């Protein structure tokens, strides 16, 4: 009876791992830009010229803002545009919902305000904030992530052309949240290569193998 419990537990674990595929996608072959001092209230990158991406495929894009020691978030106004993606004039974006460290992340297309405060996120991530998009072309989904934690997924997204990644604009400048005196740096990265993840069937076979070894040891 104990052996059966081991088998069932192993299979359940394998099934759980299999269902995590979409939520735990890893990416490789990142095209990482140089770390730049934030001295302007905006920036912009076109995917076709920067990465050769013209739509029709999976991708991940991220930007990481890092505060130097002693640097602090601005306490002026809310609603800084932290990262946006412009696809044929449809905008997907992250914004700051409040002021300074008390702010949280607002996400467009139904994401609303979610996640921890920026003060807590900075404290647990080496004084950095990372905002990311992950696009699945076959599923037509776009996932918003903050510090590698998925917070919101938009369905029915069909990216079939190049896009522009950007931050800040005339009405939502970055300097509402970040100082632009060079004490904050930002680094962008782009990938179209997903790391291979074992299929649930392979995981189940592996789990059964482990369970079989355990049973043989008990029998011995």
Burial grade of 71 (CB within 10 A; 0-12, 13-18, 19 or more): middle
pLDDT digits (tens, 9 = 90+) for 51-101: 999 999 999 999 999 999 999 999 989 999 999 999 999 999 999 999 999
Estimate the crossing angle of helix 2-19 against helix 200-219, to 10 degrees.
Answer: 160
Amino acid 161: pLDDT: 98
174 vs 167: CA distance, rounded Å: 7
- Averaged pLDDT score across all residues of the chain: 87
Provide the pairing of β-strand 193-194 with 59-67: unpaired
Amino acid 196: pLDDT: 81
Alpha helix segments (H runs only) across the chain: 2-19, 47-51, 118-123, 200-219
Sorted by where each begins, the domain ranges of the chain are 1-17+198-220, 25-195
Q: Which DSSP category does 69 fall into?
A: T
The CATH fold of domain 25-195: Jelly Rolls (2.60.120)
Q: In this model, does residue 179 exceed pLDDT 60?
A: yes
């Amino acid at each position: 009876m104990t052996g059966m419990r081991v088998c069932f537990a192993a299979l359940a674990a394998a099934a759980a791992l299999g269902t995590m595929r979409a939520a735990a996608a890893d990416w490789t072959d990142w095209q990482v830009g140089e770390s730049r001092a934030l001295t302007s209230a905006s920036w912009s990158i076109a995917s076709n010229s920067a990465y050769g991406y013209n739509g029709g495929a999976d991708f991940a894009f991220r930007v990481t803002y890092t505060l130097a020691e002693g640097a602090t978030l601005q306490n002026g106004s809310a609603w800084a545009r932290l990262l946006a993606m412009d696809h044929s004039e449809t905008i997907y974006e992250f914004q700051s919902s409040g002021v300074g460290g008390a702010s949280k992340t607002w996400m467009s297309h139904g994401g609303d305000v979610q996640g921890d405060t920026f003060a807590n996120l900075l404290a647990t991530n080496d004084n950095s904030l990372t905002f990311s998009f992950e696009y699945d072309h076959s599923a037509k989904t776009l996932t918003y992530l903050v510090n590698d934690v998925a917070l919101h997924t938009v369905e029915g997204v069909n990216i079939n052309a190049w896009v522009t990644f950007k931050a800040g604009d005339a009405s939502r400048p970055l300097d509402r949240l970040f100082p632009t005196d060079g004490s904050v740096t930002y680094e962008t990265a782009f990938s179209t290569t997903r790391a291979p993840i074992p299929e649930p069937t392979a995981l189940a076979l592996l789990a059964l193998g482990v369970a079989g070894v355990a049973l043989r040891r008990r029998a011995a």
